[in-house]
Amino acid sequence: MPQAGSTPANTPTHCPYCALQCAMSVSPGGPADGTAGSADRGADVQPRQFPANGGALCRKGWSSAQLLGAADRIVEPLLRGPDGVLRPAAWDEVLDLVAAKVRTLRAAYGPDAVAVFGAGGLTNEKAYQLGKFARLALGTRLIDYNGRFCMSSAAAAGNRSFGLDRGLPFPLADLGGAGAILLLGSNVAETMPPFVRHLQGARDAGGLMVVDPRRSATARLSDDGAGLHLQPTPGTDLPLLLSLAHIVLAEGLADEDYLASRTVGRDAVARSVAPWWPERAQATTGVPADLLRTAARRLAEAARAARAGGAPVYVLTGRGVEQHVNGTDTTTAAINLALLLGLPGTRAGGFGTLTGQGNGQGGREHGQKSDQLPGYRKITDPAHRAHVAAAWGVDESLIPGPGVPAAELLHSLGLPGGPRMLFVHGSNVAVSAPDAGRVMEGLRRLDFLVVADFFLSETAAEADVVLPVLQWAEEEGTMTNLEGRILRRRRAVTPPSGARSELWIMAELARRLDSPGRFPTDAREVFEELREASRGGLADYSGIDYAALDAGEAVYWPCPADASPAGGTRAGGAARDSAEEDSAEKDSAEKDGLAGSAPAPGPTLRGTPRLFMDRFAHPDGKARMVAVRFGAPAEQLNLPGTLTLLTGRLLEHYQSGAQTRRVPELNAAQPELRAELHPATAVAHGVADGDMVLLSNGRGRVVARATLDSGMRTDCVFLPFHFPGDASANLLTSPATDPVSSMPGFKNASVSLSALPAGLPADALPADLPPGAVRRRGAEAAARPLAEAAR
């Protein structure tokens, strides 16, 4: 499949990492200093002017090409031998074996013996094809993806309130002109640094309000009069938001005309926030009552000015408030606040959630979710099933029903009634899933594990078959960024000869399994089918084609087929902008010029840059105000002697670190797990800066180096989740999930902290500790033969 051929210099594409999808140009061949690895597979990256990143990149983007030629890249299929060792094997051999395993297990245990786990980093084409592959080729209902750990709470809340879930329902560049932004649970200064440029307007206006239990790099952006930092104790974002809503209503600051004309449910929400006067919220959150009042009033004053034509106001959420068992309700409370201020669906501002993974948006629209079909369709809706079956060219009865969400799927692996075989694409669940120790046990219980990856991730190290796949700069496809804009990912370099695209792998397996439906290997062909499958759905891509994207058009979904650049159409109940607003968007994109060279000329706009301008996507066109309540947390926090574990990301690493830990300059900057503690917490535990500490609870134990930061709260400890083995923060996180979204409560684990005597090796941990998951045997056993394979 990989064709030798010319790969021109300066191919325009986008960064492999987060949902900001910074634009970059990639040229084959590494820079002279050789940092991009071996010359034949290396590449050079340069930032490219684009509204989302303003010509900027972060350190991860700059160094991203170093992975293309990494020495430990998997370039041949690996097959675990009878001796338990992974060794290189031929493609036909492993594909035949995988197909045979599917047939055998399916015959013995039924179609749900095989499950699929996808990812928010896959292109739209791969995500779409993976959903179809699971349902048609494998015949299983069991597919879900790691986006369940990212966007599910925000998605559920957006669907419930607006009838539609698009992370930012407005162009990202709109934020640049904001007069005030309330940013909840998002550390963009670390996770997507170029995004910070869009906060400058709000900072200049003194209106950046950051809610975070840590004085994070982002919270510090509110210093020096640029805004406010509200530092609640973990797990209390919901009462904080209820109190802000309380103040807005109690002081008569809500936009009652908007509420009457564009929403339903106002009174029930008002009654639900009446118990949250600021002093009561203070006693729950630890945020002083007057600070709550100040924040609410600043927001409301800015919103009033925005409604009169001033700078707009935005409420934005991130995983910090969403990854809780009440994450959907917390996001709903943030939406309610935005609605009280009269923002969503107007030019006065809006509500948005900051998608995390590269294709976290597109990845949640096209059928990787257990309950969903392409175009954001429901797998339980007969009309939706019929439409997709027609697009797939199969009988509707061949599409299985809904499966189970990610955490439940992963925790049922190999158990009676659970799947016995798993395909993993683009995810490192051994590190990234909650209660990761339990997930590792599940992976080891499986009869057969197939992992498609380009590195021997901690998950791939457990596999029976590892399928080497292409990296971002080696493949064609589309990605949908955090603002719902569809972008082209382009092939800039020639892949290693032994690696294959996942589209090819699915096609080969589908053929071996006599699957119905079509499995083309060309991304453009897959996209053409995706257009049809999504036609008329909420996430309608039918009006989008590669030609328009390649011509540089700025296309936002929904984009129905009959949408012309200047025409006004409706899709999925959501109205698109008028042409007049399109030109305004062009202005703001240009104003956003920022660093570097002059901005590119304003692109042609297509689809729906701004959603909800006329109506929300519910049948009556109105947004739902949903009353939510603060209940007891799933896990008892703050018992004497315990700390609450916060998890999150570092600037230098991405997700499970499977990629960034292999980039020398990133790994050198953050080589090991560091636990951030308040100095007073450290003193109380007899810990000094740089000491090794043990964090433990009933699920596992983790070893980290303490680093002291007076910006922490004294009741918390922070761990980044980028590290494997006994440095995996997710050994401690809770598998309890949100009842609406099935989002695990990643941010609500209670842990104990103790100092480790200097020099004590991690495997010499005291035996009386709770049964943890310091189990590196499998990974080590697998890693050794890989070294052989690489040679």
Task: Report the residue number, 62 or 557, with the smaller CB distance to other proteins.
Answer: 62
Q: Is 669 in the site for other proteins (CB under 8 A)?
A: yes
Do residues 118 and 146 lie in contact, with contact meaning Cβ atoms separated by under 8 Å?
Answer: yes
Q: Which is nearer to other proteins, 250 or 549 (CB)?
A: 250
Smallest gap from Cβ 32 to other proteins, in A, equals 14
Among 250-258, 425-433, 560-568, 569-577, which window interacts with other proteins (CB under 8 A)? Answer: 250-258
Q: Residue 551, class by beta-carbon neighbours within 10 Å (0-12 exposed, 13-18 middle, 19+ buried)?
A: exposed
Residue 477 bridge partners (DSSP): 489
8 Å CB contact between 306 and 350: no
Residue 257 token pair:
């005309």
Among 108, 680, 764, 787, which residue interacts with other proteins (rule: CB under 8 A)? 680
Which segment (95-103, 342-350, 616-624, 676-684) binds other proteins by CB under 8 A?
Answer: 676-684
Peptide bond into 757 cis (omega under 30): no
Q: Identify which range of 268-276, 381-389, 412-420, 618-626 contacts other proteins by CB under 8 A.
A: 268-276
Using CB under 8 A as the binding rule, whether residue 275 contacts other proteins is answered as: yes
- Under rule CB under 8 A, which residues in 441-470 are in contact with other proteins? none
Burial of 763 (0-12, 13-18, 19+ CB in 10 A): exposed
Which residues are registered as beta bridge partners of 469?
A: 500
Site string for other proteins, 140-179 (x = CB under 8 A): ----------------------------------------
User: For other proteins, which is the closer residue by CB, 257 or 381?
Assistant: 257
Answer for which of 56, 184, 228, 431 binds other proteins (CB under 8 A) is 56
User: Which CB atom, from 9 or from 551, has the smaller least distance to other proteins?
Assistant: 9
Site membership for other proteins, residue 187 (CB under 8 A)? no
Single residue of 38, 40, 84, 271 touching other proteins by CB under 8 A:
271
Rounded CA separation 156/772 (Å): 33
Nearest approach, Cβ of residue 139 and other proteins (Å): 38
Sheet with 180-184, side-by-side order of all strands: 227-230, 208-211, 180-184, 313-317, 349-353
Spell out where 154-239 has E strands. Answer: 180-184, 208-211, 227-230
- d(CA 394, CA 508) in angstroms, rounded, equals 19
Pick 288 or 778: Cβ nearer other proteins: 288
Q: What separation in angstroms does the CA of 426 have from each of 123, 217, 218, 727, 787?
A: 10, 29, 29, 21, 22
Q: Does 640 bind other proteins (CB under 8 A)?
A: yes
- Alpha carbon separation from 345 to 248, 410, 574, 618 (Å, rounded): 19, 38, 10, 13
Residue 596 binds other proteins, judged by CB under 8 A:
yes
217 binds other proteins (CB under 8 A): yes
Residue 569 within binding range of other proteins, rule CB under 8 A: no
Contact between 339 and 259 (Cβ < 8 Å): yes
DSSP codes of every residue in 150-167: TTHHHHHHHHHHHS---S
CB of 557 to other proteins, least distance (A): 28
* Paired residues of 704 in beta bridges: 693
Among 67, 74, 142, 189, binds other proteins (CB under 8 A): 189
Of the residues 40, 92, 257, 267, which one makes contact with other proteins according to CB under 8 A:
267
Interface mask (CB under 8 A) for other proteins, residues 62-101, using x and -?
Answer: x---------------------------------------
Instruction: Give the DSSP H or E segment for 14.
Output: strand 11-14
Extended beta strands in 307-365, E state? 313-317, 349-353
Residues 278-297 that bind other proteins (CB under 8 A): 278-280, 282-283, 285-291, 293
714 touching other proteins, by CB under 8 A: yes
Residue 579 phi/psi, 5-degree rounding, is -60, -30
- Nearest residue (CB) to other proteins, 208 versus 443: 208
Q: Which residues between 470 and 529 bind other proteins (CB under 8 A)?
A: none
Reference 607, options 244, 256, 166; nearest CA is 166
Least spacing, CB of residue 218 vs other proteins, in Å = 10
Q: Are 275 and 245 in contact (CB under 8 A)?
A: no
> Apex CA 133: angle with CA 128 and CA 138, to 5°?
155
Residue 689 found at the interface with other proteins (CB under 8 A): no
Using the rule CB under 8 A, give the single segment among 35-43, 589-597, 653-661, 750-758 that binds other proteins.
589-597
Nearest-angstrom CA–CA distance, 50 and 45: 15
Measured from the CB atom, the residue of 286 and 568 that comes closer to other proteins is: 286
Interface stretch with other proteins, choices 76-84, 446-454, 633-641, 655-663 (CB under 8 A): 633-641
Cα 254 to Cα 645: distance, rounded to the nearest angstrom: 36
Residue whose pair of structure tokens reads 């993976």 in the numeric block: 130
Span near other proteins by CB under 8 A; candidates 266-274, 507-515, 572-580, 688-696: 266-274
Q: How far is the CB of 271 from other proteins (least distance, A)?
A: 5
Dihedrals φ, ψ of 257, to 5°? Answer: -65, -45
In the complex, minimum distance from the CB of residue 15 to other proteins, in angstroms, rounded to a whole number = 12
Rule CB under 8 A: choose which of 30, 37, 47, 725 binds other proteins.
47
Binding site for other proteins (CB under 8 A): 47, 54-59, 62, 189, 193-197, 200, 217, 221, 223, 233, 249-252, 267-268, 270-271, 274-275, 277-280, 282-283, 285-291, 293, 594-596, 638-641, 651-652, 665, 669, 678-681, 683-684, 710, 714-715
